[in-house]
Structure 1
Amino acid sequence: MTGQTPKIRIRGLCKSFGPKVVLNGVDLDVMTGTSFVIIGGSGTGKSVLLRCILGLVTPDAGTIEIDGVDVTTLSPRHREPYMEKIGMLFQNAALFDSLTVWENVAFGLMAAGRQHKHRISRADAKKRAGELLEQVGMDPAVGALSPAELSGGMQKRVGLARAIAARPEILFFDEPTTGLDPIMGAVIDGLIVDCVRKLGSTAIAITHDMASAQRIGDQAAMLYEGRLIWQGPATSLLDSGNPIVDQFTHGRREGPIKVDVRV
């Protein structure tokens, strides 16, 4: 590992919204092929961190390198090839209600075809969508349905199929088990692990679900008060030796994290 360039390298990342400091000097290395999980309470900046990497939010300071290139210094046109390396499963799947399931899965492929003038026909896109649905454990016939006809777990699978459609080098997962029962959560996590391994992708997941974090992650870190206060193997999340991490992962009311419960 020594001397290897991280797939994603972040140094001194800061972001505030008015007087509220969300990220206050985040440092992070994610090596190629690693599944990295970031835990933390609601409102601690996990999603803001992902949005900064994606270029949806402009950081106030710091660097974000992808394959050794600081993408924060690039123009939108020159940043685009790096963003095309990324696929994302959104927290609530974020499917387009006006499109069928297969059109949702193939949306990025058809958009990329138009953008890069390598047009993919609807017939080929539909066939590819069927293959992707099978990869996430769904019958290709589901492709003809609308998202509203699917359960929450099925919508998550469709979102995962869309995320892996372009065989991305990097995958982001935003609270992948939110809204799912424990069994379906475990199913989604298993599919995520399988897809990441088959693609050989580098993955970052953000979650407050400890079972999910340990199933998905190789490495883990906790975001607290704008910084990553602990990093280590995901298997050590419940036995980190850090009092803040231990309070969070075990769900204890008493500890260094103070929660205002006043109504």
Structure 2
Amino acid sequence: MTSSSSSQTAAPSGQPRLRIRGLRKSFGDRTILNGIDLDVPAGKSTVIIGGSGNGKSLLLRCILGLIEPDEGTIEIDGENIIGASRSRRGTLLKRIGMLFQNAALFDSMSVMDNVLFGLTAKSHGRRRDRATQEKEALRLLEQVGLGPHVAPLNPAELSGGMQKRVGLARALAGQPDILFFDEPTTGLDPIMSAVIDGLISSCVTQRGATALTITHDMTSVTRIGDHAAMLYGGKIIWQGPANTLMHSGNPIVDQFTHGRLDGPIPTSGMTANPAEKR
């Protein structure tokens, strides 16, 4: 991926790009997030792991403003987005690009129109003619390794890996300095998983973006992560350098990362929870 100019904002020295404290969210009598504390450093790649139903995707949705948390703070460069006005929150959230699980492309739109949608959504009020926008969309597709021949195609005509790359191109529209990736390699073969991981790494190393990724893929963690954290029981139970994850010394983390049946994580605790997908 080639580097490009961006609207990145420098975080104050020593301050995390994202700072989450005491984040809680319940659905009925089921508490999913039970006091999340997490720092995401600027210009680094942070990876969150954890079993299904533990609230990883819900955490991203709370940060994005798609779901309102019950308690807690979510700060971008020290500014609490939960307490911000609607207009200010919208401005802050435009700094975030999101690659949803399964890419979440619009089936009724062509690849070109999907990317153009991302450009329009992150235009910050700027109006550009169609030809200029299409040129920018083709540049974004080129950055993720796709040629202009895919632009008129519909998502259904693409492989899973190509759909992920289109989703990434859309996420990069507007040159966000914060990128979220929700299970970016799920359903992909090992080679395509390595391609997607390489693109994520390039977003951090070449664009200087701050990345937050949710994944079950331990190989991906070692390829893309600078920092890692595990979400279990509604809380972050461990965090540290990604290269120490596989020998963390935490029995819950060790059982999960090595796929052991025996350990403190009960088998029933690994079942999916519909609330996480809300």
TM-score using structure 1 length: 0.95
Note if 1:250 corresponds to 2:261: no
Correspondence list, 1:57-72, <5 A? 57-72=67-82
User: Which consecutive aligned stretches of 4+ in structure 1 deviate over 3 angstroms post-superposition?
Assistant: none
1:2–1:256 CA distance, 2 compared to 1 (3 A): farther
Q: Where do 5+ consecutive residues of structure 1 fail to align?
A: none
**Per-residue CA distance 1:94-137 (angstroms, 9 max, x = gap):** 11111110111121212344x61x21221111111111111111
Alpha-carbon shift at residue 196 of structure 1 (Å): 2.6
Deviation at 1:198, TM superposition (A): 2.0
Q: Alignment partner for residue 167 of structure 1, among 168, 172, 175?
A: 175
The question of 1:47 aligning with 2:47 is answered: no
Matched, 1:16 2:34: no
Counterpart selection for 1:197 from 190, 205, 209: 205
The answer to whether the 8 Å contact 2:94/2:122 transfers is no
Residue 29 (structure 1) aligns with: 39
Give the match's secondary structure for 1:203. Answer: strand
Shift of 1:216: 1.3
Aligned residue among 62, 84, 87 for 2:97: 87
Question: Is contact 2:44–2:204 with CA below 8 Å preserved after alignment?
Answer: no
Aligned residues: 260
User: Contact 1:110–1:120 at 8 Å: present in 2 too?
Assistant: no
Asked if 1:109 is matched to 2:119, the reply is yes
Answer yes or no: is the 8 Å Cα contact 1:109–1:120 preserved in 2.
Answer: no
Partner of 2:139: 131
Structure 1 counterpart of 2:21, which letter? Answer: R
What is the root-mean-square deviation of aligned Cα atoms in Å?
Answer: 1.7
Shift of 1:19: 0.8
* SS of residue paired to 2:267: coil
Counterpart of 2:228?
A: 220
Counting aligned pairs with the same residue, the percent is: 64
Say if 2:122 and 2:173, in contact at 8 Å, map to a contact too: no
Number of the residue aligned with 2:276 = none
Q: What letter corresponds to residue 35 of structure 2 in structure 1?
A: G
Letter in 1 for 2:141: L
Which position in structure 2 is the counterpart of 1:208? 216
- Report the Cα distance in structure 2 between the residues aligned to 1:53 and 1:93, rounded to whole angstroms: 19
Q: What is the CA deviation profile of residues 178-228 of structure 1, one whole-angstrom value per residue up to 9, with x for unaligned ones?
A: 111111111111111112322211110011111111211100000000000
Shift of 1:153: 0.4
Partner SS for 1:72: coil
Check the 8 A contact 2:32/2:55 in 1, yes or no: yes
User: Which protein, 1 or 2, shows the higher relative CO under an 8 Å CA cutoff with sep ≥ 6?
Assistant: 2
Q: TM-score, normalised by structure 2?
A: 0.90
Partner residue, 1:239: 247
Partner of 2:4: none
What's the CA shift for 1:16?
0.6
Deviation, structure 1 residue 3: 5.9
Structure 1 residues 2 and 8: alpha-carbon distance in aligned structure 2, compared to 1, 3 A threshold: closer
